[in-house]
Amino acid sequence: MALFCEQLFLAALLYVAGEFIQVDMAVFSDATRETVFVVSTLMILLTLAAIPIGLRLFKFRKVADDLRQRGELALLKWGVLRLSMIGDLLVINTLLYYIFGFEPAFGYLAVICLLSMPFIVPTMSRCEAEVTVDETHDEIHENTERS
């Protein structure tokens, strides 16, 4: 939960510094259109790949099996990876928005990441549910493999 709050705090701090305090972070505001294009294309591809993977991470067979076998240790490992995938992109896109002088593509990507964050909130009940062995799910999965 600390990592989740830290990422939201950093993004909010960048937003407040750039919008309200008006800290001049636009060090690449005079960058060429090619540079902006390459960086924004890279971030778009990275963001659009990382969000679906991050949201579905615990559904992948290897990760789900690891969560059931190792419990809390696996949850720490995979949970930090999941939070980092989406939360770090939120902070990076927010920073790039201000560094490139209010380039809208980075702002939109940051908003997309921010809208994805509620789906990965690491609450205690969600964490307990992830490491609990689901007997009905295992039976359904075994019956599917047999057919």
pLDDT band for position 134 (50/70/90)? low
Q: What is the pTM of this model?
A: 0.82
User: 96-131, pLDDT tens digit by residue?
Assistant: 999 898 899 999 999 999 999 999 988 888 888 887
Q: What is the reported pLDDT for 146?
A: 55
User: 2-43, pLDDT tens digit by residue?
Assistant: 899 999 999 999 899 888 887 777 777 778 889 999 999 999
Q: In the chain, what are the domain boundaries?
A: 2-134
pLDDT band for position 52 (50/70/90)? very high
Q: What is the reported pLDDT for 91?
A: 96
Cα(74)–Cα(60) distance, integer angstroms: 13
